[in-house]
Amino acid sequence: MDHSIDGVWQRVLGTQPDPPRWLVLGCAAAALLAIVPHPLWRLSRNVVTIAHEGGHGLIALLTGRRLAGIRLHSDTSGLTVSSGRPTGLGMILTAAAGYTAPSLLGLGGAALLAAGHITALLWISIALLAAMLIMIRNAFGLLSVVVTGAAFFAISWYGGPQLQAGFAYLGVWFLLLAGVRPVVELQGKRRQGGAHDSDADQLGRLTGVSPLLWVTLFLVVALACLLVGGSRLLG
């Protein structure tokens, strides 16, 4: 494989052949296996937290808020701190971005894979993780993002076409499938009287709309992304 700058650039801009169907289905099964059993989910959920907090951070910047920092914790929780107007559209969009980010990223990734841009997907992921790394403010968060980014880089630089395809499809299937479970868990905590400062409850206070409706919106987005994204991957 050509590892020169020109060679890498040509692969990023070019397209790669579709992987065999067994690999696509196998990646879907492996992603599901990483989500359903609780012991594996406690580990794999850290990837969802990276996407969740990254979503908050990205939308905060795009809406003109000042991003102070991001923290990722070993219990798979996270915190993104931004400053600006405490109310208004920017704050609402920033609060709504967390639970929708993994599914929307998965949908975008599915569109890239359906178009044959496997290498581009890997390098876009590296770029997003590198940008997020600048804003990390704790050791565990730093470790999480560096390890995840290193995995993407190693596969994209040293992996063959089929390994790259498998890694990319696994990652996208994981985001699409994993985007659903945190929303269900959130409502479970709320039903038991917890999570009073969740994104949905913050949105309820910001908008006057019931937090339950915000949770429902999160779930609709996650399921719609899974349906559309999954169809693109299988098609």
Tens-digit pLDDT profile for residues 38-54: 899 999 999 999 999 99
| Residue 97 CB neighbour total at 10 angstroms | 23
Higher pLDDT, 150 or 10: 150
For 98, the token pair is 């967390």
Select from 42, 47, 57 the least CA-distant residue to 98: 57
The mean per-residue pLDDT over the stretch 87-96 comes to: 96
| Residue 170 CB neighbour total at 10 angstroms | 19
Q: Given a cut of 70, is residue 98 above it in pLDDT?
A: yes
DSSP 212: H
pTM for this predicted structure: 0.94
* Residue 219 Cα distances to 44, 55, 150, 183, 223, angstroms: 20, 16, 31, 6, 6
Q: Taking all residues of the chain, what is their mean pLDDT, rounded to a whole number?
A: 94
Q: Helix %, strand %, coil % for the chain, to 5? A: 75, 5, 20
DSSP 65: P
* SS3 (DSSP) at 80: strand
Q: How confident is the model at residue 5 (pLDDT cuts 50, 70, 90)?
A: low
Which residues are paired to 136 by β-bridges?
Answer: 70
pLDDT digits over 177-212, tens only?
999 999 999 999 998 887 788 999 999 999 999 999
Q: Given a cut of 80, is residue 134 above it in pLDDT?
A: yes
Q: Which residues contact 123 (CB under 8 A, 6 or more apart)?
A: 12, 156
Higher pLDDT, 30 or 235: 30
129, 149 Cβ separation under 8 angstroms: yes
Q: Amino acid identity of 100?
A: T
pLDDT of residue 11: 76
80 dihedral zone (left: phi>0; alpha: psi -120 to 50; beta): beta
Helices (H) and strands (E) in the chain, counts: 10, 2
Q: Given a cut of 90, is residue 13 above it in pLDDT?
A: no
CA angle 87, 88, 90 (to 5 degrees): 105
User: Distance between CA atoms of 65 and 94, rounded to whole angstroms?
Assistant: 9
User: Distance between CA atoms of 70 and 231, rounded to whole angstroms?
Assistant: 33
pLDDT of residue 50: 98
